Amino acid sequence: MVRGDSCVRGFTLIEMIVVLALISIMLFIGLPAFRDNLFDSSLKSTSRKVIGFVKGVRELAVRERQSYYLYIDMIDQTLRFSQDSDKPVWLEPMAYSKQTQQIPTMPDSEKEAKREKTGHQDQLVFPDGVRIFEVQTADSGKIAEGEKKIWISQKGYMEQMVLHLEDRNKKIFSLHFQPFLENVTIYETYTPIP
Enumerate the domain spans of the chain.
45-187
**CA–CA distance from 129 to each of 45, 159, 167 (Å)?**
12, 28, 5
Q: What pTM was estimated for this model as a whole? A: 0.65
Mean pLDDT across the stretch 71-82? 91
In tens, the pLDDT along 116-167 reads 544 556 888 888 889 999 999 988 889 889 999 999 999 999 999 999 999 8
Q: Does domain 45-187 have CATH number 1.20.80.30?
A: no
Mean pLDDT across the stretch 159-180? 92
In tens, the pLDDT along 56-75 reads 999 999 999 999 999 999 99
**CA–CA distance from 6 to each of 3, 11, 13, 158 (Å)?**
6, 17, 21, 80
Helices (H), the chain: 13-38, 42-64, 108-118
- Strand-pair category, 68-73 with 141-143: unpaired
CB contact set of 167 (below 8 Å; sequence gap of 6+): 41, 42, 43, 129, 130, 131
> Which amino acid, residue 91?
L
CA 172/CA 29 separation, integer angstroms? 29
Q: What is the 3-state secondary structure (H, E, C) of 72-110?
A: EECCCCEEEEEECCCCCCCCCCCCCCCCCCCCCCCCHHH
183 phi/psi in degrees, rounded to 5: -65, 140
DSSP-assigned beta bridge partners for residue 158: 152
- Strand-pair category, 147-152 with 68-73: antiparallel
Count CB-CB contacts under 10 A for residue 94: 6
